[in-house]
Structures are given as C-alpha cells and as structure tokens.
C-alpha cells in the first residue's frame, strides 16, 4: 500500500471563473502521461466539475465537503481513496477563502487545505492586468499566514512577454514561485450554462478537450516543481485512520438485493461514496437509463433517481412510456424509490420546459416542475 496523504496539492483560485477546473483537469492529464496514477477531488458538493477530473484521471473524482461531513470522516474517506495512487490533485471551490459565511473559513478551500495539510497553488487570471497581479497575489499570501500557499499559476496571459512580466511581479511581491503561465487558447474553453459548466456526460468532444488541456499544461507549467511541492506535504497524522467499508452482506436467499440506479446523460449527479455504502450494506448496484431502457433491471428491489438535467431531455424522457409504467408498478408494489433534484422532477406529472411546453413524466407524485428565472 502506498503511503497516503503524502503527495498532494490543491489548485485554488482567486475567484470562480479563473480556470481552476481546466488547469486541474490538464494537470491530472499531464501527470498521467508521465505514468503517474492520480486521484482527483473537488472541494464542496459540486457534481459537474468532477466529471472532467474523472475523465482526466481515469477513476472517479470524489468530493471533500467538511461542511456536510464531519472532518474526521472527510479525512478517513480521503485516505481510503488515495491509498493506491502516486499523487492527489484537489480542485478548490470559488475563491480560496470563500466558504459558507463572510467572517470565517468554514466550507472554504483554505479550510480544506488546512484539514488535509496540503500545499496550495493559486490560479490568478492575468488577462486584464500586469503588475497588479503582484498586489493581488500578495494579498492572498498575507490574508492567512497559517495557510501553506506554495506558489502561483498565471492564466490567460496575452503572450510570453506578458506571462514573464506577470510572473516577475508576483514573485517580487510574494517571494513565492510562479510555476508557469497559460495562454488564452480556445481549446481550453469549456461551455457554460446555469449551474456552471456543461458536464462531460453530455455529448461533446470531452476527451479531446482533456487531451488538449494536458498538452498545454505540460508545455507551459513546470511539472517537476509542482510535483516537488506535492511530495513535500507533511506525513499523514497518526490520528487519521483509513475508513473501512465492510464486505457486502448476503441475504438468507444468498442473493443481494438489487438497487437500480439511474445513470445517463439526464441523471448523473451521484456521489460514488453513496453507491459504495449501499454495496457495503449488502446491495448490488445495477444501472439503468431512463432515456433508453423500457424496464427496470432484473430483481430490482429499490430504485435511486439522483439529480441531473432532465429538463434538457424532457422530450425523450416523456416518450419512454414503458419505463413510466414500470416505475408506477414498482411504486404500487411498495418498492422503495429514492429521488432527489432532477430525479424528483422526473417522478412528477410533467416537466414544463423554458418554452412553456409540457412533457408528461412518470406521474408518481402530484405536481409539475417548470423552468423559471
């Protein structure tokens, strides 16, 4: 077993929208090209950004949410997920010091960095500044002396001359290194809409994007210095124990009950830990697609419908009448059905799209869901 909580770092930003997700995904891809195994994490309850890191790492990205989960459980889960990897890369949330409130760090990237004892690399969007980047970087360094801020990355520079100037300004002001700068490049643009970025579960050339991001990161950032920073993180605290998940139980019949979990372009907001917990409790997970499957998996004993964007696929979901009937039969038979967010919308009578068109849904719950705002 590899020593966990050792090689690790956090990619943070001065704010949302500075390029954290792109740089994190690109860094993961570049490290994998070097032959390293990488575990990705996202600070907070985000479902969308992790889809990029899952694609880049080739293994599920996980969330670190010390606001919802006790810190000791966050650490234990972190250690379990990183026990067999070479390096762990964590993407922060919003700005480095942004969390639940305005007067403490709860829920912030800074709080996560302290919990993990992880060095932080801060992304600065330099597209509309020069020497001022040094002032911004200095403010972030001095704001919390207890934070292990290890260095910076300048993003969206106008060229090498601009990048060198910004890097020099930051290094003079802070005394910390700039690990490189990334150009403004259309290949690094990720489409956005409400709730953030477009998830990679939807149609798109996402593999090409991750590949391009990895190439650009590898050619513009000093990966050796970044790895050195990650490997200089302190050894794991002895008090942090690896979280264990018991072996699956079997029922008297010898069969494990099947939990049917919706998973397709419309429904994919699911934390991997929740499925692992169900398996540990003795369940067998079987995935199905409300877009394409006309029936539930064989031996289904319970159904889980998580969030996503059913409103974008309302026509196809509405047209899958056989699955609506299968869900109603399951409900009539008192089968447990758990639904949240978009999954709950799917169980209502209809989804009304942004054009005012009504699309009939499964109809287990009275009411309709409608786009607003």
Q: For residue 176, what pLDDT is reported? A: 99
Query: Where in the chain do CATH 3.40.50.300 domains reside?
Result: 8-231
In degrees rounded to 5, what are phi and psi of residue 352? -100, 120
Rg (CA), the chain: 23
- pLDDT, position 29: 97
DSSP letter at 221 equals: B
Which carries the bigger pLDDT value, residue 266 or residue 188?
266
- How many CB atoms neighbour CB 372 within 10 A? 6
pLDDT at 296: 99
Asked if 290 and 303 touch (Cβ cutoff 8 Å), the reply is no
Q: Is 270 or 201 the better-scoring residue by pLDDT? A: 270
For residue 147, pLDDT over 80 is answered with: yes
Query: What pLDDT is attached to residue 242?
Result: 53
The answer to whether residue 253 scores a pLDDT higher than 60 is no
Q: Is residue 242 packed enough to be buried (19+ CB in 10 Å), middle (13-18) or exposed (0-12)?
A: middle
Percentage of residues of the chain with pLDDT beyond 70: 89
Q: Determine which helix (DSSP H) or strand (DSSP E) holds 171, and give its type and residue range.
A: helix 160-174
Does 61 qualify as catalytic in the annotation? no
CATH assignment, 258-370: 3.40.50.880
Tens of pLDDT, residues 202-223? 556 668 889 999 999 999 999 9
Please write the tens of the pLDDT for every residue from 54-85. 999 999 999 999 888 999 999 988 999 999 99
Give the pLDDT of residue 194: 52
**Total length of the chain:** 373
CA distance 140 to 312: 39
pLDDT number for residue 170 = 99
pLDDT of residue 6: 81
Tell me if residue 300 falls in helix, strand or coil.
strand
- Alpha carbon distances (Å) from 49 to 53, 54, 286, 290, 354: 7, 9, 24, 23, 25
Q: What is the DSSP letter of 66?
A: T
Q: What percent of the residues of the chain are helix, what percent strand, and what percent coil, each to the nearest 5?
A: 35, 20, 45
Q: Is 305 strand, coil or helix?
A: strand
Contact 318, 359 (CB under 8 A): yes
> Where do you find CATH 3.40.50.880 in the chain?
258-370
Mean pLDDT score across all residues of the chain: 91
Residue 13 has pLDDT above 80, yes or no: yes
pLDDT of residue 3 exceeding 80, the answer is no
> Going by DSSP bridges, is the β-strand pair 120-125/8-13 parallel, antiparallel, or unpaired?
parallel
pLDDT band for 256, please (50, 70, 90 cuts).
very high
List beta partners, residue 258: 284, 300
- For residue 90, pLDDT beyond 50: yes
The mean per-residue pLDDT over the stretch 297-319 comes to 96
| pLDDT score of 52 more than 70 | yes
CB 97 within 8 A of CB 144: yes
CATH superfamily label, 8-231: P-loop containing nucleotide triphosphate hydrolases (3.40.50.300)
pLDDT at 237 over 80: no
Which pLDDT tens digit goes with each residue over 118-141? Answer: 999 999 999 999 999 999 999 999
Mean pLDDT value of segment 223-233: 97
The DSSP bridge partners found for residue 153 are 123
pLDDT value for 49: 87
pLDDT given at position 23: 97
pLDDT value of residue 245: 56
Q: What is the pLDDT of residue 372?
A: 79
- Calculate mean pLDDT across residues 351-359: 92
Q: Spell out the residues 6+ positions from residue 331 whose beta carbon is closer than 8 angstroms to its own.
A: 337, 364
Per-residue DSSP letter, 187: G
CB atoms under 10 Å from CB of 131, counted, come to 13
What whole-number distance in Å separates Cα of residue 126 and Cα of residue 274? 39
Q: Which of 33, 341, 365, 370 is catalytic?
A: 341
């Amino acid at each position: 077993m590899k020593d966990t909580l050792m090689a690790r770092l956090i990619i943070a930003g001065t704010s949302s929208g500075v390029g954290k997700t792109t740089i994190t995904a690109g860094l993961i891809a570049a490290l994998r090209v070097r032959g390293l195994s990488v575990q990705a994490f996202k600070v907070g309850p985000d479902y969308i950004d992790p889809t990029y890191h899952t694609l880049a790492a080739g293994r599920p990205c996980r969330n670190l949410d010390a606001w919802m989960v006790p810190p000791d459980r966050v650490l234990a889960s972190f250690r379990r997920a990183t026990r067999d990897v070479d390096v762990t890369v964590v993407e922060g949330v919003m700005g480095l010091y942004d969390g639940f409130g305005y007067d403490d760090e709860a829920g912030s990237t800074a709080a996560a960095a302290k919990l993990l004892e992880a060095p932080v690399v801060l992304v600065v969007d330099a597209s509309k500044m020069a020497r001022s980047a040094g002032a911004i970087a200095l403010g972030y360094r001095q704001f919390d002396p207890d934070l292990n801020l290890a260095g910076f990355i300048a993003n969206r520079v106008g060229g090498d001359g601009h990048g060198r100037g910004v890097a020099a300004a930051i290094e003079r002001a802070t005394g910390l290194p700039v690990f490189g700068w990334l150009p403004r490049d259309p290949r690094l643009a990720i489409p956005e809409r409400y709730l953030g970025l477009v998830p990679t579960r939807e149609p798109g050339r996402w593999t090409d994007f991750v590949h391009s991001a990895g190439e650009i990161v590898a050619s513009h950032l000093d990966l050796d210095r970044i790895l050195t920073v990650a490997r200089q993180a302190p050894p794991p605290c002895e008090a942090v124990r690896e979280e264990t998940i018991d072996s699956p139980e079997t029922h008297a019949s010898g069969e494990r009950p099947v939990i049917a979990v919706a998973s397709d372009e419309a429904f994919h907001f699911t934390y991997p830990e929740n499925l692992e917990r169900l398996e540990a409790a003795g369940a067998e997970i079987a995935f199905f697609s409300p877009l394409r499957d006309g029936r539930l998996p064989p031996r289904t004993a319970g159904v889980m419908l998580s969030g996503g964007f059913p409103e974008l696929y309302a026509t196809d979901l509405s047209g899958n009448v056989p699955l609506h009937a299968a869900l109603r039969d399951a409900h009539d038979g008192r089968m447990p059905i758990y639904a949240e967010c978009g999954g709950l919308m799917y169980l209502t009578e209809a989804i009304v799209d942004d054009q005012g068109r009504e699309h009939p849904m499964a109809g287990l719950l009275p009411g309709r869901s409608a786009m607003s705002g």
